[in-house]
Structure 1
Amino acid sequence: MLVRSPGWAAFVPDEVIVVQLYSRDVGDGTPLVLLHAFPLSSAMWLAQREALAERFRVVTPDLRGFGGSPLGTAEPSVDVMADDVAALLDAKGIDRAVVGGLSMGGYVTLAFCRRHPDRVLGAVLADTKATADTETARADRLRIAERLEADKTVDVLLEGLLPRLVGPTTMRQRALIYGRVRGLVQSAPASAAAWAQRAMAARPDALETLAGLHAPALIVHGAEDEITTEDDARAMAEALPNAELTLVPRSGHLPPVEQPQLFNEAVGEFVAALGRTIR
C-alpha cells in the first residue's frame, strides 16, 4: 500500500511517496524503534523484542522491500527510507522515540536525525559509520546491485557478504546463529537488495548531522566486526556532543544477534536513562 505522509512539506519533496512499513510493535513505555541491517529484516531483532519489550515499547519495522514491506516506486535513497519511518511513527501516534539502527539501519537512523531531528529522543548507532562511501566502495555497491538485478537471486550476497556478517567467534562456536543469519540473507528479495545498495551508495556524509544532534546517542560496535571498524565507531562518538561508546566482545557485525544479552544491557540502560529524563 502506498501512502502520502501529511504535513511534511518542510521535509519531503511534493511527489515523494512513502510506503506503509510492516512492523512488529510490542511492549509499553518509552518508544524504541530499531532498524535492521542489510540485507536482513526486522526478524533480526527477535531477542530485543523478547527482552526489551518488558521495559519499553519496541517497534521493529521491515525497511522498504524487505520482510513484509513493499518496495514502492521511489528512487533509491536513505532519505526516503527515513521518511518511511517517520510515516510509521505518525501512523502509530508516536511523536518522539529513541531511534536506532545497525549498519544500513544506522544510515537510515542518521538520515532520520537529519530530516526529523525534533522526533529523536535518543539515537542508537550500531556497527555503522557516518562517512559516505569511498569511490571504490560506491562502485562495488553498484556492481553488486547490477548483479542482483541480472541474476534475480541474492547469490552474490551469500558469496561475498554473508561470511563477513558474523565474527570468527560466532563462526566457530555458534553454528545455529550463523545458520539463522544465512536464512535471513536468503530471504531477501533481490530487487530490494539492489535498491538498498543503490540507496546506500548515494548516501551523503553524515558527520555534520552528528555534530548538530542534541539528543544523547549510544554507539555500539562489535569487537570482531570486519565490515565497519572501531575507528568508524570512535569517529561518530567524537563527532557527537553527547555520546557513549560500547564495544561488544566476541561479536562481529551483528551484536544484537551474536551477543544479544550484552547488546540488550547496553541499550536497555541507555533507553531507561532517557525515560527518566522525560518523566
Structure 2
Amino acid sequence: MREFEDVGVEVPGGRLSVRRWPGAAGGPVVLALHGIASNGLAWGPVAEALGDIELLAPDLRGRGLSRTVTGPFSMARHADDMLAVLGHFGVGRAVLAGHSMGGYAACIAARRDPGRYGELVLVDGGLGFPVPADVDIDAVLHAVIGPAMRKLEREFADRAAYHAFWAAHPAFARLDGPLVAAYLDRDLTGTAPRMRSACSPDAIREDAADELRNPEVFAAIHELTLPTRLLWAERGLSDEPTGLYAPEVIAASGLESEGVALHFVPDVNHYSVLLGDAGARLVAGHLADAARRSAGAAARG
C-alpha cells in the first residue's frame, strides 16, 4: 500500500482532516471530494491505483475525522474549505474530483475559482435533481441513500457489527479488503458497545437541502469554464439496474453540447465505482489523464 499521512488544516469552525497520499516531487496533485455521508478514505482504492500522483482527500466538515468542524454546511462552504486545503499544501493548481455530493461541491468550487483547478472529474455526481420546498429532506434522504441515513439512527456494538451492517447492503455485496475496512472504520466514533457513525446529522441535512434546492448548485455544472468529464455508473445506490443517472437523464441534460465529456461506466454501482477494484482503476485512469492534460495545458500557457 502507498504511504500516507493525515494532516489537519485550519478552517473556520475547526480543523479539517485531510488524507494525503504523496506523489512524485513537483508532480500533479488531485484534490478529491467524497459523498454526503462518506469520508476521504472513499478515495483509498483510487489512490492506490494512481501510483505516484499525489492525492488529497479531505474528510469534509462534519464527517470522519472532521466530524467536530462546525457548520454552517453547504456546497459553497466546502468550496471555501478546498481553497484552504490547497493553500495549506502550497498547491497552486490541482485536478479537482468529486463523487456524489462531492461532485456538486466540486462544480461550485470549479465555477467560482477556475484558475485553481486544471480539470474537473465528476464521478456519479454534480448533475442536480431539484426537490420541491414542501418535500421533507429526511424523507428524500431515506428514499435515496437509505442505509447511509439509517446508520445515523442507531448504535453499533463494535467495528465488526458496523462492517456487517454494510455487508448486508446490496451495493456492498462484493466490496471487501483492507481499503474498504479502513473506509468504514473512519466513519465510526465512540467506544464499544456504543459506537456511532462519525457523520453529523446536521451536516447531512444542511448539505442535502443545499444540494437539492439551491438553484446555484443546479446551475454550476452548466456554467463551467474548465475541461470537465462526468463518469456515470450503470447501477444505482442499492445496486439497482438503473443508476443514479438513467441514460435518458444524461441524454436530456445538455451536458455534451456544453462540452462536458460523458463516460458511461458499466458493471459498477454508485459505491463500487470508487471502492471496487475495477471502478477504482477506471477512475484513476481518468484522473491520471486529466492530470497529464492539465500539466500540458499549463506548460503551453
TM value normalised by structure 1: 0.76
Q: Which of 44, 47, 53 is residue 46 of structure 1 equivalent to?
A: 44
Q: For structure 1, which runs of at least 5 residues remain unmatched after alignment?
A: 5-16
- Matched residue type, 1:256: L
The match for 1:267 among 287, 293, 297 is: 287
CA distance in 1, matches of 2:103, 2:127: 9
1:155-187: per-residue Cα shift (whole Å, max 9, x none)?
A: 9xx989x836x2xxx63xx25269937935863
Q: Does 1:218 align with 2:216?
A: no
Contact 2:28 2:94 in 1 (8 A): yes
Equivalent of residue 198 in structure 1, options 182, 202, 206: 206
The partner residue of 1:242 within 238, 251, 259 is 259
Identity %: 21
Cα distance per residue 1:5-50 (max 9 Å; x no partner) = xxxxxxxxxxxx3543211222131211111123221112112222
Aligned pairs for 1:149-164 within 5 A: 151=153, 153=155, 163=169
Shift in CA distance, 189/115, structure 1 to aligned 2, threshold 3 Å: farther
Partner amino acid, structure 2, of 1:176: D
Equivalent positions of 1:140-155 (< 5 A) are 140-141=139-140, 151=153, 153=155
Amino acid at match of 2:274: P
Amino acid in the other structure paired with 2:139: D
1:99-147 residue CA offsets vs partner (Å, 9 max, x unmatched)? 1110121121122123323322111111114324413473525779998
Instruction: Show the counterpart of 1:11.
Output: none
CA contact (8 A) 1:20 1:84 kept: no
Cα distance in 1 for residues equivalent to 2:200 and 2:232: 26
Cα pair 2:18 2:57 within 8 Å, conserved: yes
Partner letter of residue 42 of structure 1?
G
Alignment equivalent of 1:59, drawn from 56, 59, 73? 56
Q: Is the 8 A contact 1:256 1:264 kept in 2?
A: no
TM-score, scaled relative to structure 2 = 0.71
1:219–1:237 Cα contact (<8 Å) kept:
no
Q: Say which of 124, 127, 140 aligns to 1:127.
A: 124
Q: CA deviation at 1:218?
A: 1.4
CA distance in 1, matches of 2:107, 2:291: 18
Cα RMSD after superposing both structures: 3.6
| Structure 1 letter corresponding to 2:73 | P
Quote the Cα distance in structure 2 between the aligned partners of 1:200 and 1:33.
22
Q: Against the structure 1 CA distance between its residues 110 and 257, is the aligned structure 2 distance closer, same or farther, given a 3 Å change threshold?
A: same
Partner in structure 2 of residue 107 of structure 1 = 104
Query: What is the one-letter code of the residue matched to 2:63?
Result: F
Instruction: State how 1:155-194 maps to structure 2 within 5 Å.
Output: 163=169, 166=171, 171=173, 174-176=174-176, 180=180, 183=184, 187=188, 189=197, 192-194=200-202
Task: Structure 2 unaligned segments of length 5 or more: list them.
Answer: 1-7, 189-195, 238-242
